[in-house]
Amino acid sequence: MSSQSKRITLSEAAEIIKDGTMLTFSGFTIWRRPCALIFELIRQKRRDLHLVEVNSGPHSEFLIGAGCVKIWESCWIGHELYGKYGANLSRKVKNKEIIFEDYSHAEMGFRFLAASAGMPFIATQTSLGTDIHNPEYDMLGRAGLRNGKNPKIARKKYETMQDPFYGDGLQILLPAAKVDVAVLSVQQVGEEGTVRIGGQFFTDPEVCRAADTTIVVAEEIVPEECLRTEPRLNTIPSFQVDYIVECPYGAHPTGMFGYYDVDGDFIRNFYMQTRTQEGFDEFAREWIFGMDHTAYINKLGVDRLVNLQASRALNFSTRVKRGQK
Amino acid sequence: MERHDFAKPGEYTLADLMTVAASREVNDNEVVFAGTGMPMIAIMLAQRTHAPNLKLIFEAGTFDGRPNVIPTSVGDPRCEGGASRASGLCEAFSIAQRGYVDLGFLGGAEVDEYGNVNTTAIGNYLDPNLRLTGSGGNPDINSFARRTVFIMVHEARRFTRNVSYITSPGWRVKKWPSGEFVHRRELYGSAFRGGPSAVISTAGVFRFDEDTGRMYLDTYHPGKTPEEIKGLCQFDLDISRVKGETAPPNYDELHIIHEVLDKEEIFLPKPKKS
């Protein structure tokens, strides 16, 4: 692909993700989640998404609350200290409006690791003896979705075997986490797609390679040659990235190492407000519908963004109020 | 008052007491996995007192950190202060599965007599009264580390006979496909390294008999009695091995918690002046 052809708009990026897409994300809990693109998916009224992810966070709570998600396959959802659990997932589970599949966090990480290396499955010794492996709790199986019709849904939630090589006992075999699209929210991407992530890269390299299509939403698109003078600092090579979008504050209200801190007040208010569907709908009217990303940033306002601005030296904000003092 | 004198009731909070109790579970030179909140403060306190050479791991992918500002979560840039490496969670869990981790700090909504913990759903998993966060790394750290310590709110409904869902494995766990309970050592085989070693609740500190897998009361917090705590468990808590009161924080520890680590009062509000 030539360099210019990778650059698209937020709205075009959302159109690549069709109804029913198996989707995953960059980041970890309340850090580097592609929220701007998620708000755009909600505006475009995407439906029946199948989210496959490591520890989740506000981004998926937005999608789930908006009714975009049919299946949530993960291990955790919450807002760290800004909200005890995922109130929208919790409500939809109680009302039987969503299919959920639980693995452990290491299991999800290892499943992406397998998919990223073209391994059909991976062996691990985690979570033995837990209800994660209760055969009654294979939820995609219960929903009749493990019938081989979707080539990215494994025919079993997991399998067990004794180690055939070293005799090291019981092993859990987990299917690779294959997904259609990965959306990454990062600091910098080159014009040809080279990704440079600041700070912890979480599972971004793995989820990128696990997906058929990768969309990178970056704070800045930078000249490719700037990244190629020090390749050891780069995280993902250009040819693994299909589309790039420039979107400042694209992860807000989650945080971006070196750029801006987590907007804890925003996330806490979202959590408190969206414990009911009416509350979510009100939130969506105020912060999602009837605006684009530029309008969203303007609505947040300069004071708020300056407050979240990360120190260039420390990579986090020294101004943001985090506790009672 | 000397730095190492114990503080008096009213000079510390229950959360301070629990944090200090958690900190004392850490030995020097150990590799320790930290979760968000009180565990981070406990470990960073240990790093500044009796365990200066501990190696701190954050699940999201930071290794051997020496942060001097408290992170608000394990994905926080603040985790990376003084670290020897920052990468990702596949590396963190690979390191754990490989057997490097001595100790992990975890939480839970429900715990049973054998240290099985639930963080997934209250009630029937298929039709829950309340869906919670799900597992996160709780079962992973608990499967891979030599010791794990759980920090919990103590209520009778939480110290339950049977947890609604075993998210994290204790000393007697389910063997699938039948679901019969077996000793953890039998199921884990050569992958067995240990298991839950303590529960620090708002009422006391509990430990486990490794052979029977049963929980017993080790120390009770000041102001509580063993009988009262036994009444706060749905199972028949063993109080025959109790050693006495949980040691309160000393002035040095309180200073580090409130004036060095959590000045902003993110996780641990200061004791109210009476």
Q: pLDDT confidence of A5, banded at 50, 70, 90?
A: confident
Provide the mean pLDDT of chain B. Answer: 96
Q: Which of A106, A201, A257 sits opposite B137 (nearest CB)?
A: A106
Kindly report, residue by residue over A305-319, the tens digit of the pLDDT. Answer: 999 999 999 999 999
Kindly report, residue by residue over B73-106, the tens digit of the pLDDT. Answer: 999 999 999 999 999 999 999 999 999 999 999 9
d(CA B89, CA A118): 19
First-last CA distance in chain B: 19
Do A105 and B187 make contact, defined as CB atoms within 8 angstroms? no
B152 burial (CB, 10 Å; 0-12 / 13-18 / 19+) is buried
d(CA A253, CA A71): 24
Active site (annotated) includes residue B227? no
d(CA B252, CA B4): 6
pLDDT higher than threshold 80 for residue A71: yes
Interface test with B, best of A104, A111, A165 (most B CBs within 10 A): A104
Residues of the domain holding B213: 14-261
Task: Check CB contact of B180 with chain A, cutoff 8 Å.
Answer: no
Asked if the structure places residue B198 within a domain, the reply is yes
- CA quadruple B126, B130, B131, B137: dihedral, nearest 10: -110
pLDDT higher than threshold 90 for residue B2: no
The pLDDT value given to residue A1: 46
Chain B nearest-CA distance from A90, in A, is: 5
Do A80 and B72 make contact, defined as CB atoms within 8 angstroms? yes
Interface test with B, best of A55, A200, A232 (most B CBs within 10 A): A200
CATH number at residue B133: 3.40.1080.10
Interface test with B, best of A165, A322, A324, A325 (most B CBs within 10 A): A322
Query: How many Cβ pairs within 8 Å bridge chains A and B?
Result: 222
Do B266 and A204 make contact, defined as CB atoms within 8 angstroms? no
% chain B with pLDDT above 70: 99
* Structural domains of chain A ordered from first start: 4-127+177-307 (3.40.1080.10)
Count of structural domains, chain B? 1
Asked if the structure places residue B269 within a domain, the reply is no
Q: Which of A27, A126, A203 sits opposite B90 (nearest CB)?
A: A203
Asked if the structure places residue B129 within a domain, the reply is yes
When computed from its CA atoms, the radius of gyration of chain B, rounded to whole angstroms, is: 18
Asked if the structure places residue B7 within a domain, the reply is no
Considering B59, B110, B113, B253, which one is annotated as catalytic? Answer: B59
Chain B nearest-CA distance from A2, in A, is: 30
Kindly report, residue by residue over A17-53, the tens digit of the pLDDT. Answer: 999 999 999 999 999 999 999 999 999 999 999 999 9
Tokens 């150990």 belong to: B30
